[in-house]
Amino acid sequence: MQETSLNSDLFKQPHRRYNPLIGEWILVSPHRTQRPWQGQVEKTSQEKPPTYDPTCYLCPGNPRAGGNLTPNYDSVYIFDNDYPALLADTPEANFENKGLLVARSERGLAKVICFSPRHDLTLARMEAKDIRTVVDAWAEQYKTLGSLDFINHVQIFENRGAMMGASNPHPHGQIWAEEIVPNEPSKEQAAQAKYFQEHGTRLLEDYTNLELQDKSRVVVENDEWLVVVPFWAVWPFETLVLPKRAVQSIPDLDAAQRDGLADILKRLTTRYDNLFEVSFPYSMGFHQAPTDGKDYPHHVLHAHFYPPLLRSATIRKFMVGYELLGNAQRDITAESSAERLRSLSEEHYSLRG
C-alpha cells in the first residue's frame, strides 16, 4: 500500500527511505528527537579573519610549500596541487591474486582553485558576480581536463572548514580528474541509466518536478535552480542542488543558468552560516557526466552539500555503530531540516547591526 501523505503514521514512526540515486536505504527514527533543537546551542568563539594573511600560502604573493610562489592574483586562481593525490605520469601496472587481492594503477591530475584573493571570504560572503567567475572557471576546467585522452571523470569539490579536513581557511576548492569514474558517481550513473531505460525520462528531472510540486523539502529556489533537503538525506542538513532545466555538465549551462547557480550557492551557504551563526563546515561537490566521449542522455548535473553539524556549532553527527555496520540513520526528518533552513534570513549574520 502506497502512503500519500507525509502526515501519515508511517513518517511519525521508525521507517526506511530509499535513495534511488545510489540504490541504498536510510533508517529514519523521528521518535528519538521529538524536538530537533533540544539541548544547549553553543557558539564557537571566532575572530574575524584578516583580508590578507602573510602566513597563508593561498594569499597573493606568498610562498607555498615546496618553493612555489602564489602570484598576485586578483580574481580566481588555479594551480596544480603541490601534494596531489593523483599523478599524470603514473606507470600502468596491475596486481591480482585469486581475485581477492586486486590493485590497478590510476593516472590523474589534481588542482586547487582559489575562489578569491581575499582570505576572509567564503561563498556565503562573496558577491554573486564573483561566484559567477568561479562557476565559469569550473566550466573551463571541466572542459580542459576532460579533453585529455586519459581523463574520464572530473570531480569538482570543496571541503569547507577544519571540521571537514580543510587544511587552509582561505576560500578554495579542488578538482581531481582521473581515469575511472569513482564509486559514488558510478552508482549514480547506473541508477540514472536504469531509470531512463525503464521510464524514458530522467530520474533527477522527474525528482525536481516532484519536489517543486510538494515544497515540503525545498530550502531555496530561483528561476533556474532548486535546493532541497533530499527525501533520503543522510546528514542532518544535507542538501541537493538541482537545475530546473536539465543539463549534463557545468559547461552546458547558459548565461542565465550560470548566474542562477552563483545566486543559489550564495543564498544556500548564507542560510547555512545563519543556522548556528558560524562559518558552516561542509563538503560540497558536483556530479557531472563522465568525459569518456560516450553519450549520457540520462544524466542531470547536480551538486551535493554534506554538512556535519547537528544541533549547534559544536555538536556534529558521527557515522558510528549501526551506521558503520548496518546502514545510515537519522533522527531529524528531511522535512523538518528543510523547514529550519528555509526559515532563515538571507542576510548574513555578520552584517547585522
CB 43 within 8 A of CB 208: no
DSSP 131-194: HHHHHHHHHHHHHHHHTSTT--EEEEEEEESGGGT-S--SSEEEEEEESS--HHHHHHHHHHHH
| pLDDT of res. 13 | 86
| pLDDT of res. 352 | 83
* Residue 349 confidence (pLDDT) above 90: yes
* In the chain, % of residues over pLDDT 90: 81
Give the three cell numbers for residue 158: 570543496
Distance CA 177, CA 162 (A): 24
Q: How many domains does the chain have?
A: 2
Least confident of 12-21, 37-46, 181-190: 37-46
- For the beta carbon of residue 351, count every other beta carbon within 10 angstroms: 9
Q: Does 31 fall in a domain? A: no
CB 273 within 8 A of CB 124: yes
* Residue 35 confidence (pLDDT) above 50: no
* Residue 45 confidence (pLDDT) above 60: no
Q: Does 277 fall in a domain? A: yes
Please check whether residues 216 and 339 belong to one and the same domain.
yes
Q: Which domain holds residue 156?
A: 65-178
What are the residues whose beta carbons fall under 8 Å from the beta carbon of 276, sequence distance 6 or more? 41, 43, 309, 312, 313
* Residue 7 confidence (pLDDT) above 70: no
Q: Which of 119, 153, 170, 172 is catalytic?
A: 172
| pLDDT of res. 174 | 97
| pLDDT of res. 44 | 59
Please check whether residues 189 and 276 belong to one and the same domain.
yes
Distance CA 139, CA 133 (A): 10
Distance CA 22, CA 197 (A): 16
| pLDDT of res. 163 | 87
Length of the chain, in residues: 353
Please check whether residues 230 and 338 belong to one and the same domain.
yes
Give the end of a domain, one of 126, 155, 178: 178
Which amino acid belongs to residue 121?
A: L
* Residue 37 confidence (pLDDT) above 50: no
pLDDT in tens, 255-271: 999 999 999 999 999 99
Give the three cell numbers for residue 307: 554538512
Q: Does 12 fall in a domain? A: no
| pLDDT of res. 80 | 96
Please check whether residues 196 and 337 belong to one and the same domain.
yes
Please check whether residues 126 and 275 belong to one and the same domain.
no
pLDDT in tens, 105-133: 999 999 999 999 999 999 999 999 999 99
Give the three cell numbers for residue 38: 533540544
* Residue 34 confidence (pLDDT) above 60: no
Mean pLDDT, the chain, whole residue set: 92
* Residue 4 confidence (pLDDT) above 60: no
Pairing relationship of beta strands 329-330 and 24-28 according to DSSP bridges: parallel
Position 12 confidence tier, pLDDT thresholds 50, 70, 90: confident
Distance CA 296, CA 300 (A): 9
- At 271, is the secondary structure helix, strand, or coil? helix
The predicted model gives 60-85 an average pLDDT of: 94
Please check whether residues 141 and 192 belong to one and the same domain.
no
Nearest to 176 by CA among 154, 200, 203, 150: 154
pLDDT in tens, 313-332: 888 888 889 888 999 999 88
Nearest to 302 by CA among 238, 215, 346: 238
Q: Which helix (H) or strand (E) holds 28?
A: strand 24-28
| pLDDT of res. 5 | 61
Backbone angles phi, psi at 280, to 5 degrees: -70, 125
Q: Look up 304 and say whether it is catalytic.
A: no
Give the end of a domain, one of 125, 160, 178: 178
* Residue 305 confidence (pLDDT) above 70: yes
Please check whether residues 219 and 256 belong to one and the same domain.
yes
Q: Does 100 fall in a domain? A: yes
pLDDT in tens, 151-200: 999 999 999 988 888 889 999 999 999 999 999 999 999 999 999 999 99
Distance CA 268, CA 286 (A): 15
Please check whether residues 147 and 200 belong to one and the same domain.
no
Nearest to 170 by CA among 123, 235, 210: 123
Domain CATH code at residue 162 = 3.30.428.10
